[in-house]
Structure 1
Amino acid sequence: MLTVRPVRTADLPAIEKMAVESGIGVTSLPNSRERLFERIQQSVSSFEHEAVADTSDEYYMFVLEQHGSVVGTASISASAGFDEPFYSYRSETFVHASRTLKVNNRVHVLNMCHDLTGQTQLCGFFLDSAMPAVAGELLSRARLMYIAAERERFGRRIIAEMQGIHDEAGQSPFWDAIGRRFFNMDFVQVEQAFATHSKTFIAELMPNYPIYVPLLPDEAQHSIGQIHPAFELPCQLLTREGFEADNYIDIFDGGAVLTADVDRLETLMRNDVLPVEVSASLPLQAKECLISNEHSIDFAATIARVAEVGGVLFINPDAAKALGVQSGDRVRVAYPHESSQGVAA
């Protein structure tokens, strides 16, 4: 059975392997044993906090487990850029006009900003390529189930950076057109620096003036707001939730930054907390749903066939074991998206 739970220190070797396999662009999953261990320890500490008055530097890392093996990971940063600004490019339009020449031109520009600093961020998503789409949905949505259960820990707005366009050699047309001119570093090198060092180098080296998009090479212009094929699944899952591409893009590869109102996400709007009844024989109306327990340290989520009867949620023993619940406990159930035919559609 597929189960999502908080990361443990013992998961470090599996997380290291995924960091290597994730390749270029997933800076929230750095290929550094030391940094990964720090992330895991930060996550363990965050889950152990019983209550958080305000969002701060809490970081929640989850893993997807199948038959005792870790096959995926995804995280939540309670406050993006809590200790350092969260940089991005804001896409804007400048108007250049001359009444004398009767010219009025609207020009696309990019302005470096940290408008998104302090917003809750979904990050660190990685799933074994052999896993089915339903596993990706469970891994992605389980984070939202945790937010629903621990709403006070997170902010009003939420963001997710999508990996931008680059080739197998790590060449990014957006980076080559802008960043390389100020850093004199390859895209791969700057991604590694971003994942393992302080982010102050961005403010120190990147231009503070607007970037006029028409002056960029065509390939760089076409890459703005585009998403790497490897991120199509997480992008589809988040779009189905209600995330939208906003006027922000990643400062390095130009990938889209998705944003949303936390309380207007599908999973948060369409879930119930119900007492559970464990039964080996489920009612005929049972259907696959996403369910999670109401624990924090021992949070768990899975997808299983359930049936609601008279305000009670019937689940089978395997699901109860995965969630660590028994009859009489309360669980949270999220229903299939309105646009879906099933939980994995």
Structure 2
Amino acid sequence: MRLRPIKAADLDGLQGLAQQAGVGFTSLPDNREFLAGKIEAAAHAFEERTPVNDRLYFFVLEDDATGELAGCCAIEGQVGHEVPFYNYRLGRLTHASVQLDLHRAIDTLFLSSDHTGDAEVCSLFLRPEYRGEASRALRCGALLSKARWLFIAQFRDRFPEKVLAEMRGVFDDGNRSPFWESLGKHFFPMAFDEADRLTGLGQKSFIGELMPKFPIYTTFMSDEARACIGQVHRHTRPALEMLKKEGMRWEGYIDIFDGGPTVEAYIDDIRAVRRSQLCQVEVSPNVAVTSESRWLAATTRMADFAAAWVGRGPASDGTLALSEDEARRLDVTTGDTLRLLDTQETS
């Protein structure tokens, strides 16, 4: 498997991913014209033809054996500049009556744009066909998730101080969001699917226009909806665990529509950013080929960035031996530089 920047020829494959992602995957709507625009925006970002605060770096996971797209992921350079970035901040109000000796603390939701200017890791999706076998799903999912950190580490000066990730919220077996049913539908005269579609297409101004500006008391919501606050969809749990291991944490912000958590961290505190290292390539036909999912390597060029698993770590002199297949997958030769990460390192 190889992660690389998306290109124009991937439009059909990307739309196929969008169709499989389904409802609730806001950043990947099934709209061909919009997806084509996303690909074009990504091309401009990788060529550094757009301002740093308006860049979308979009990647695809390519199956080396078949050439098909197995998944995708992306990085937004900064959120909230062109289109408002809204979420709810979970807070608490305390009410007390001295005369009656009564005290009550009530959870509240505040409409917020606190993350404006932060980077976002987003759009991570792995096709169901690649989730069946546990070891394969782990390799693919980890490659999609962790390669983004190597990209950020290599081009650190293109990114701000903080990074966030919005996680998909809870849906029941009927693909219904209890959080939306109890809250969102009372303010938006449309179905969840339509609100989600508009948001995915970047049409977010209606959120600020229609949502109440005052705190919302969660006690008015159903028990089922309150239980969804800060919780993730069952398919999103592995992605959340990977982000938590990198140092991202939930600080009380949730999605407007489904109540899923927004996790965040300072970029320089992300484990993969801190622990990745540069090494020089040595290609050899005598290198043993392994399928170990420990060492992740990425190129240091932006326009044709690539990332893949390699079978070993660096030698004591800082060189990294690659098999001919590994070098071909990463499109590197002897003397080139790679950024390397030991994914099993815990400190």
Q: TM-score range by the shorter chain?
A: over 0.9
Deviates more, 1:287-296 or 1:247-256: 287-296
Q: Which residue of 2 aligns with 1:338?
A: 345
Query: Which one-letter code corresponds to 2:344 in the other structure?
Result: H
Offset of residue 285 of structure 1: 12
Aligned to 1:292: 298
Using the alignment, how far apart are the partners of 1:62 and 1:196 within structure 2?
19
Structure 1 residue runs of 5 or longer lacking an equivalent are 341-345
Say whether residues 1:61 and 2:58 are aligned partners.
yes
User: 2:146 & 2:313 partners in 1: Cα distance?
Assistant: 20
Counterpart-to-counterpart distance in 1, 2:202 and 2:273: 35
Match of 1:143 among 132, 138, 148: 148
One-letter amino acid of the counterpart of residue 220, structure 1: A
Indicate which of 270, 275, 283 corresponds to 1:265: 270
Q: Is 2:163 aligned against 1:158?
A: yes
Aligned equivalent of 2:328:
321
Q: How many angstroms apart in 2 are the aligned matches of 1:197 and 1:333?
A: 35
8 Å contact 1:164–1:253 — kept in the other structure? Answer: yes
SS at match of 1:236: helix
Structure 2: tracts of 5 or more residues without a match: 131-135
Q: Matched residues in 2 for 1:286 and 1:183: separation?
A: 50
| 1:99 corresponding residue in structure 2 | 98
Query: Which region of structure 1 is more displaced relative to structure 2, 323-332 or 5-14?
Result: 323-332
SS at 1:25's partner residue? coil
Q: What is the CA–CA distance in structure 1 between the aligned matches of 2:18 and 2:290, rounded to whole Å?
A: 41
Partners of 1:293 and 1:23 in 2: how far apart?
32
Structure 2 vs 1, CA of residues 207 and 286 (structure 1 numbering), >3 Å: closer, same or farther?
closer
- Paired letter, 1:56: N
Displacement of 1:339 in angstroms is 4.4
Distance 1:137 1:324, change over 3 A: same
Residue type of the alignment partner of 1:327: T
Q: Distance in 2 between the 1:39 and 1:282 partners?
A: 39
Partner AA of 2:198 in structure 1: A
User: Aligned ranges for residues 177-188 of structure 1 at < 5 Å?
Assistant: 177-188=182-193
Maintained 8 Å contact 1:74/1:123: yes
> In the alignment, is the contact (CA less than 8 A) between 2:4 and 2:306 conserved in 1?
yes
Deviation per CA, 1:190-246, whole angstroms, max 9, x where unpaired? 111212252110011111111111221100111111100111121111111111112
User: How far apart are 1:283 and its partner, in Å?
Assistant: 8.1
Check the 8 A contact 1:282/1:306 in 2, yes or no: no
Instruction: Look up the match of 1:343.
Output: none
Contact kept in structure 1, 2:77 and 2:158, CA below 8 Å: yes
Within 2, Cα distance between the matches of 1:39 and 1:197? 11
| RMSD between superposed Cα atoms in Å | 1.9
TM-score by length of 1: 0.93
What's the TM-score, normalizing by structure 2? 0.93
Quick one: which of 244, 249, 257 aligns to 1:252?
257
Q: What are the superposed Cα offsets for residues 129-173 of structure 1, whole Å, 9 maximum, x if unpaired?
A: 222211110011111111111111111111101100123443211
Cα deviation, residue 282, structure 1: 3.6
Alpha-carbon distance in structure 1 between the residues aligned to 2:289 and 2:223: 57
Secondary structure of 1:35's aligned partner: helix
Contact 2:288 / 2:323 at 8 angstroms: preserved in 1?
no
| Per-residue deviation, 1:266 | 1.2
Q: Secondary structure at the match of 1:84?
A: coil
Q: By how many angstroms is 1:6 displaced?
A: 0.1
Aligned to 1:121: 120
1:270-303: CA deviation from partner (whole Å, max 9, x where unpaired): 1110111112334899964000111100100000
